[in-house]
Every structure is written in C-alpha cells, then in structure tokens.
A and B are shown apart, each in its own frame.
Chain A
Amino acid sequence: DAGITQSPRYKITETGRQVTLMCHQTWSHSYMFWYRQDLGHGLRLIYYSAAADITDKGEVPDGYVVSRSKTENFPLTLESATRSQTSVYFCASSESGGKAFFGQGTRLTVV
C-alpha cells in the first residue's frame, strides 16, 4: 500500500542495547523526518533528510544515528539506549510546501 510505514510498532529494549527503528515511504518524497513525542514537550525533531545521502540534525539528535542510502528508507538507530529515550517515535515525509505526512509511530520502552 502507498504511504509511510514504520516498524516495529512496539519495542521494549534494555538499557545499553542498540535498536533500530525503520521507516519506509512509497511516495518518493524528498524529505524525511524523525520526531519523538513526549508529554509536555510535544513533537521534537531528531533528524531530517533532504534527499538520499543528505541528513542533518534536528533539535534533539544526541544518542541517535540516521542513514538514508535510498530515498524510500530512513532508519533511526539508538546506539546505546537509555531510559530517557523511552518515547513515541514518528517518522514523516514531505514534498513541496512543507506538508508532512506521518507514519503510525513506534512506541519504544527502554527498561
């Protein structure tokens, strides 16, 4: 189906482990984004990408790594998970005009 999909939908991991969240879009949008959403903070941008092989930091990039070898995929890796990274993570994509469309989200719990 066309759209933007995230996997997994739910993930529980232990402190210190590496975990990768996947994001795939079928629209061929140039721009892709990773946000985290926490109570009291709203949506905060972690990383974004303007095209394949072009990525840039957002507001809260520490502890995260991204890559974009193909236009349609934008995985987010937590190199060594911490409890403060427990959150809901949203991937989004957009084309002209800044209109962004979101995936279903990944609820990550770090124990």
Chain B
Amino acid sequence: QKEVEQNSGPLSVPEGAIASLNCTYSDRGSQSFFWYRQYSGKSPELIMFIYSNGDKEDGRFTAQLNKASQYVSLLIRDSQPSDSATYLCAVNREGVTGGGNKLTFGTGTQLKVEL
C-alpha cells in the first residue's frame, strides 16, 4: 500500500462546475496536509494546507480533512480552464509548529476543465 494514494485521473469537469480531488494516507501519525498544483513542465506550487479536522476555505478552494478516515480532499469551485493541472497531495508528520520535516507525496490527480 502506498503511503499517500490518489486517483491518477484524468478527472474531467465542465467549466463552472465543482472539481473534487481525493487523497488517502496510511500513516496515522500524519499531522499536516498539503495540496500542490503542478502545471505541465512546471514545479509544484503550494495552494492549500490544513492541520485540523474539518474544512478550510481559501477563495475557490476548500480543503477537507478527516483524520479518523485518513482522508483529505480538495474542492475547487467554479472551475476554470486555468485550473487544468495535476494536483499533488502531500502529508507530513510534523504539525503546525513543527519543523519542516519531509513531505510524502501522492502521485497526483490530473484535472481537466473543459469549455
């Protein structure tokens, strides 16, 4: 079993719809959770992070965390063609006050937003 699992996709959604990206992790000691966006040929860009159970909203993005189910999700509202990218889920054993311990990444989900 991989430590961080994501469906590779592609996930296709029409413009204006909600895109839902999911991630499960195996290490129950994980304390912090991150979503990175990576455009083709570019480096990963941090877009969301969450440390506590529940929802965290930032603009069109909402991260959801359920530690009991070891599940993290990213919702993108009003999806735009510019959201088409690969979304990487990452987890870390360190919490919000911890040091920059190493991240473990999933292999990413490719999102395509269609006109």
Contacts and interface: CB of A to CB of B under 8 A. Distances in A.
B36 to A, nearest CB: 8
B34 interface: yes
Q: Chain B interface mostly helix, strand, loop or mixed?
A: loop
Interface residues of B, number: 27
A105 B32 CA distance: 24
Contact of A30 (B90, B94, B100): B100
Interface string B46-85: 1001010000000000000000000000000000000000
Interface in B23-48: 32, 34, 42-46
Interface of B: 32, 34, 42-46, 49, 51, 88, 90, 92, 94-108
Given A31-B100, A35-B105, A98-B101, 4 more contacts: A45-B104, A98-B99, A100-B90, A102-B45
